[in-house]
Structure 1
Amino acid sequence: MTVWRRPYSLDLTTVGAIFVVVGTAGYLGFFVFAAGSGMISEPEAVFFGVWFVPGLVVALRRAMLGVWVSHIGIRSRSLFHTTTVPWASVVEIHNGTGSMVGLDMGRVAIVIERTGGGPVQTPIQRGDFIQPFNFRPELGRLVTWPEHYDEILATLRECHRNARPREQRAPASPDPVRAGRPDQPEPVRRPAPSAAQRRDIHALTRQYERGVLTDAEYAAELARLRGDG
C-alpha cells in the first residue's frame, strides 16, 4: 500500500481549510439529524445541503493542496489537478515563476522538472511581502512566508536526493551557492546533521547568496554549525 504524506509542516491557510472542512461536515451532520428527527422539514434540509455540500467539497480539496511524497514518487495537488511524477522521472526541484493560466503572478513557486513531460508547477508559492493595493487572486495556491517556503524547498530536494539510487546521490547540500565562489574545503566524515542544523545551514547559505555575509564570515559560521574543530 502506498502512503502519501506531506514532508513539511502545514501553512496557516491549509490549517484554516481543515477547520472549515470539520465545521462544514458538522453542520451537514446536524441538518441530516434534524431532518430525520423532524426538527426541520425535508425541503429545508435539501436547501441547506445544496449550499453546504459544494462548500465541503471545495474546502476538502483546498485542505489537500500541496506537495506529497511516497517511496514511488512526488505528487502535486492543486485545486483542479493532481500530477504524480515517479522519482525516476524527477530531474530537479527548484524555484520557478508562479503563474496562473499563463499569467505571471509576481511570485516564485516550487517547480518539478521531469523527463518525458513539461515542468510541473506546484501550488506552493513564496509570499515575500504584502501588497494591500495590488490584489492578486490566489485561489488554488498556497502562499507561504519566505522561511517556510525555503524549508519546504529544501525538504523536497532532500526527499528527491534520498530517493535516488545510492550511487547516483549527490552530496547533501542545503542549497547551491553562486558560481564563481571560492571552492569549499574537501568534505570530511562527520555525523549526519540534525534537522535543526540543516535548517540553520540552509538559512546561512541563503544569507550568503544574498550578499549579507562575506566569504570569510560564511566559512567561519558554516564550520561552527557543522562542528568542525
Structure 2
Amino acid sequence: MGRWQRPYSLDAATGFAMVGLVGQAAFGTILSIMYVRERPFPLPVAILVGAWLAVCFAVGVRQAMLGVYVSAFGIRSRTMLRTTTVPWASVASIHSGIATIAGLDMGRSAIIIERTDGVSVQTALQRGDLLRPFTFRPEVGRLATWPEHYDEILTTLRAHQRDAQPGRTAQASGPTRSLTGGAGTTSASAPVGRSRAARGGPGVDRRRDIHALARQHQRGALTDAEYAAALAKIEDAGGAQ
C-alpha cells in the first residue's frame, strides 16, 4: 500500500461536500458564461462574486478531503487548516479522546493519534449523536459520524497500526495479557503468583485487574468491545480458580 487512502467508508458529510463541489463548479461556470455573453452586472460585482465562489470552492475541497489516511509509511490526519503526517514508528497509540476546539470541550469524542514524543494529534473524525441538537458545535472542519461507524473506523485504524508495528504492538499488549489473567503469564512467574496468593488470594487480584481495566476503558485506551472481551477473560479466569 504505497499511496495514501482512507481505510474506511465515506460518511454522509463527505458525500454532501463532494456534491456541493459539483454544484459550485456548475454555478460558477454558468455565471462565467452569462458574464462573457451578456455582462449582466458590473466588473467589481463580478470580481466579488468570483472571489466568493473561489473561497467556497476551496473550503468545499478541504471539507471533502477531511479524515484520516494510511499508507505503508504512516498515518495522516487532514483537518480544515492542517495536514499532519506521523510515521508508523512514531505512533504510540490510536484511541478515542475528548474533542476540543480552541481548548474548549465540544461534548464529543474524537479519534486521537498519540505520538511517541507525547504530542497528541486530534483528527477531524468525531463521534456524532442525535440527542443534543441544540448544543452549539460548529460542524465545518469536523466529521461527526454515527457511533457504529466511529467505532468501526477506530478499530480499523488500530488494525493498521498493529500490522505496521508488529513488534511494538506485541510488547504493548504484554501488560494487557497479564492484566486479563492469562495462564501463560501466571505460569511464567510462579514465585510472584505465590506471593500474591499469600497477600490476598485470587479474589484480590481479580478485583485489582478489573479496576485497572475500567480505568483504561475510561481513558479511551479500550473500545467497548475490547473492554467487554477483556472483562470476560478475567471473569472466566476467576471462575476457573
1:51-107, Cα deviation, whole Å (9 max, x unpaired): 211111111111111111112111111111111111111111011111111111111
Please state if 1:206 is matched with 2:224: yes
Identity of aligned residues (%): 47
1:28 alignment counterpart: 28
1:99 alignment counterpart: 100
Report SS of the residue matched to 2:149.
helix
1:50 alignment counterpart: 51
| Aligned counterparts, 1:78-93, within 5 A | 78-93=79-94
One-letter code aligned to 2:77: S
- Change in CA separation of 1:120 and 1:20 when aligned onto 2, cut-off 3 Å: same
Of Structure 1 and Structure 2, the greater helix share is in 2
2:153 alignment counterpart: 152
Of 9-18 and 135-144, more deviation after overlay is shown by 135-144
- Change in CA separation of 1:178 and 1:109 when aligned onto 2, cut-off 3 Å: farther
1:10-43, Cα deviation, whole Å (9 max, x unpaired): 1111111111111101111222233333464562
Counterpart Cα distance in 1 of 2:35 and 2:183? 70
Over alpha carbons, which structure has the higher Rg?
Answer: 2
2:188 alignment counterpart: none
One-letter code aligned to 1:34: M
2:16 alignment counterpart: 16
Deviation at residue 207 of structure 1 after TM alignment: 5.5
One-letter code aligned to 2:79: S
Q: Is the 8 A contact 1:35 1:42 kept in 2?
A: no
Deviation at residue 127 of structure 1 after TM alignment: 1.7
Of 107-116 and 43-52, more deviation after overlay is shown by 43-52
Deviation at residue 142 of structure 1 after TM alignment: 1.1
1:155-206, Cα deviation, whole Å (9 max, x unpaired): 1111111112x544539x9xxx899656489xxxxxxxxxxxxxxxxxxx83
Counterpart Cα distance in 2 of 1:27 and 1:68? 31
Report SS of the residue matched to 2:170.
coil
2:126 alignment counterpart: 125
Counterpart Cα distance in 2 of 1:107 and 1:18? 25
Counterpart Cα distance in 2 of 1:129 and 1:86? 35
- Change in CA separation of 1:113 and 1:55 when aligned onto 2, cut-off 3 Å: same
- Change in CA separation of 1:31 and 1:70 when aligned onto 2, cut-off 3 Å: same
1:91-133, Cα deviation, whole Å (9 max, x unpaired): 1101111111111111111000112351101111112442133
1:70 alignment counterpart: 71
- Change in CA separation of 1:113 and 1:207 when aligned onto 2, cut-off 3 Å: closer
Report SS of the residue matched to 2:47.
helix
1:115 alignment counterpart: 116
Q: Is the 8 A contact 1:66 1:124 kept in 2?
A: yes
User: Which blocks of at least 5 consecutive residues in structure 2 are unaligned?
Assistant: 185-222, 237-241
Root-mean-square deviation over aligned CA pairs: 3.3
One-letter code aligned to 1:79: M
1:195 alignment counterpart: none
2:4 alignment counterpart: 4
Counterpart Cα distance in 1 of 2:79 and 2:120? 14
Deviation at residue 46 of structure 1 after TM alignment: 2.7
